Amino acid sequence: MDRVYSEHPAIDSDIHEIWEYIHLDNPAAALSVVETISDALLDIREYPFRSPQYKPITFLNETLRRRIVLPYRNYSIFYSVTEEETRALYVHHAARDFEAWHRQEKRH
């Protein structure tokens, strides 16, 4: 059975907020970051186990994986992998407290 890939509906908002913030100072950089995030999402779809489990979040009884968006190391994509589905949940900037954000806005 093939694993289904999906994205939480708020992923688009995450990416749009990133684009808006960077675009204010540098429109070309905003486009580059968003394109790189999109490429990373495609890579997650094809190779979901390439990225390691994100250990700090396991206390919430969940196992998420974290893909650092290279070369933009301040951005990460958090996602889950089950036998049936790979699901992208968050695109996150390192300046934010991910655990607090995840508790406040828990995505499945």
Q: What is the pLDDT of residues 11-70, one digit of tens each?
A: 999 999 999 999 999 999 999 999 999 999 999 999 999 998 887 655 455 678 999 999
Side-chain half-sphere exposure of 100, counting CA atoms within 13 A: 4
Could you list the residue range(s) of the whole structural domain that residue 99 is in? 4-104
Q: What is the tens place of the pLDDT at every residue in 40-52?
A: 999 999 999 999 8
The total of structural domains in the chain comes to 1
Classify the C-alpha dihedral 77-2-50-33 as positive or negative: negative
User: Greater confidence, 9 or 96?
Assistant: 9
Cβ neighbourhood burial of 84 (10 Å; 0-12, 13-18, 19+): exposed
Give the length of the chain: 108
Decide if pLDDT at 1 tops 60.
no
Residue 13 sits in a domain whose CATH number is: 3.30.2310.20
